[in-house]
Structure 1
Amino acid sequence: MNDVALRLTGVTKTYNAGSPAAVEVLRGVDVSLAKGEIVALVAPSGAGKSTLLHIAGLLDTPDDGTVEIAGTDLTGAPDRRRTLVRRDEVGFVYQFHHLLPEFSAQENIVLPQLAAGIARSDADARARELLEIVGIGTRAHHRPAALSGGEQQRVAFCRALANRPSVLLADEPTGNLDPATSDTVFDALMALVRETGLSALIATHNMDLAARMDRRIRLDQGKLTAL
């Protein structure tokens, strides 16, 4: 049985390669996440954390190296295969929630499930379950504009986990919130991740939040080091 949910090996990425403006963003990155592990990715602005997350989530391709999800090397997989894996195995959370404004909280969580072929009744039940875990079950039928910033981000967490992915990738998920709300929302994220048992790579500038995760790694000058 493979106990590694995500593995990047020797990943490199250079933008504008071959030109005087070339920027070497990733220089042989190696990282793996065990099943159920929550890892903090700490990096200064412009260090390439978003690039790393996009490669890990199959939104971008490395110049060299491999990306494995659940033991399968997907580096050179066709676009269709990569799209299906992103849908079924990878959840994304960003600094801004990107909820669809015309749909309720519950409907925002239901939609990706319907796209994956899940029956509407099962999708509704899953959405309600996730909203209860993060403490906003009573807000299920409110549209995003009627929710606070912290509530909107919790809905975004639920949407990312709706299809039961094996890996969650989060890019500064509380970076747009005030400190008190950030702590509350992060507690909800940790509860959700622990409850579902998936692996998570969470980029954050907040060292207090990073300290609460299982392990911390730092990306600087294209290389990863343990903290």
Structure 2
Amino acid sequence: MSDTVLRLTGIEKAYNHGKPNEVNVLRGCDLTVQRGEVVALVAPSGAGKSTLLHIAGLLDTPDRGTVEIAGEQLEDKSDRRRTQVRRAEVGFVYQFHHLLPEFSALENIALPQLANGVSKQAAEARGLALLDSVGIAHRASHRPAAMSGGEQQRVAFCRAMANEPKLLLADEPTGNLDPETSDRVFGALMTLVHETGLSALIATHNLELAARMDRQVRMGNGYLTQG
């Protein structure tokens, strides 16, 4: 079995094709993420990191290039197959938590598991274990509005991990938090990732956070470079 969880090869993406305002966002990006590796994707706003993450997570398709997750090439597969792989193998975390406000923390984590056919009892047991691992099991019954920003984002991390994905994709996951809370929440994320042994690609413009990851890649002018 290959140790490469994510492989992007020659990824190109442009918007407004053939028009005077055509924008070439990705010009030929190559990237691999190995099993258990946490990679920082360092780029300023508008550089295309969100586009790259969406392609890596099968939410968008490249104009050219290949996308492999766990050894399966997926850029040309049917929407149904791409959705199956995305639900089973990929977890997403965004800058804003996007929790469902009418549900408790535990229910937010259980819902994606229930959608995958897990029993309610098993889903809640895993949800509680994940909340405990990031230090907020005592907030399981609280709705998002009753929680701090840092607590909400930790719930979002747990939700992303709910279905035991092989790959975690995070887009500025602490960008909406103050520095102290960001540091604490990022520490919780790294603990969660390392304890579960999954791979992660985390986009950030925070160089201090990037330095705490295993490796850095930088994006500029539509290309990726190491370090």
Q: TM-score range by the shorter chain?
A: over 0.9
The aligned counterpart of 1:86 is 86
- The match for 2:54 is 54
| Paired amino acid for 1:60 | D
1:200 aligns with 2:200: yes
* Alignment partner of 1:141 is 2:116: no
Give 1:107 shift.
0.3
Aligned equivalents of 1:205, 1:134: Cα separation in 2: 24
1:125 matched residue in structure 2: 125
Shift of 1:44: 1.2
The amino acid across from 2:185 in the alignment is V
Letter in 1 for 2:101: P
**SS of 1:122 mapped into structure 2:** helix
What is the identity, as a one-letter code, of the residue corresponding to 2:207? M
- How many angstroms does 1:55 deviate by? 0.2
Which secondary structure does the structure 2 equivalent of 1:181 belong to? Answer: helix
Q: Structure 1 counterpart of 2:175, which letter?
A: G
Q: Give the drift of 1:83.
A: 0.7
Letter matched to residue 151 of structure 1:
E
Report the alpha carbon displacement of residue 197 of structure 1 after superposing the two structures with TM: 0.6
Give the match for residue 210 of structure 1.
210
2:108 is paired with a residue whose SS is helix
Aligned residues: 227
What is residue 168 of structure 1 aligned with on the other side? 168
**1:1-227 superposed matches below 5 A:** 1-227=1-227
**Alignment partners' CA distance in 1, 2:48 and 2:151:** 28
Query: Tell me, which stretches of 5 or more residues in structure 1 are unaligned?
Result: none
Whole-Å separation in 1 of the counterparts to 2:100 and 2:44: 30
CA displacement, residues 59-105 of structure 1 (integer Å, 9 cap, x when unaligned): 00000000000000001010011111111100000000000001000
Q: Which runs of 5+ in 2 are unaligned?
A: none
2:8 counterpart SS class: strand
Runs of 4+ in 1 over 2 A off after TM superposition: none
CA distance in 1: counterparts of 2:44 and 2:96, whole angstroms: 19
Q: Which amino acid aligns with 2:22?
A: A
Paired residue type of 1:16? N
For the residues of structure 2 that align with 1:79 and 1:72, how far apart are their CA atoms? 15
Read off the aligned partner of 1:77 and give its amino acid letter: K
Secondary structure of 2:2's aligned partner: coil
Secondary structure of 1:12's aligned partner: strand
SS at match of 1:194: helix
Alignment partners' CA distance in 2, 1:73 and 1:82: 10
- Separation in 1 of the partners of 2:41 and 2:25? 15
> What is the TM-score with the length of structure 1 in the denominator?
0.99
Cα-to-partner distance string for 1:98-149 (whole Å, 9 max, x where unaligned): 0000100000000000000011111011000000000001110100011000
Tell me by how many angstroms 1:17 deviates. 1.2
What SS is found at the alignment partner of 2:106? Answer: helix
Q: What TM-score do the two structures reach when normalised by structure 2?
A: 0.99
* Cα distance in 1, alignment partners of residues 145 and 45 from structure 2: 30
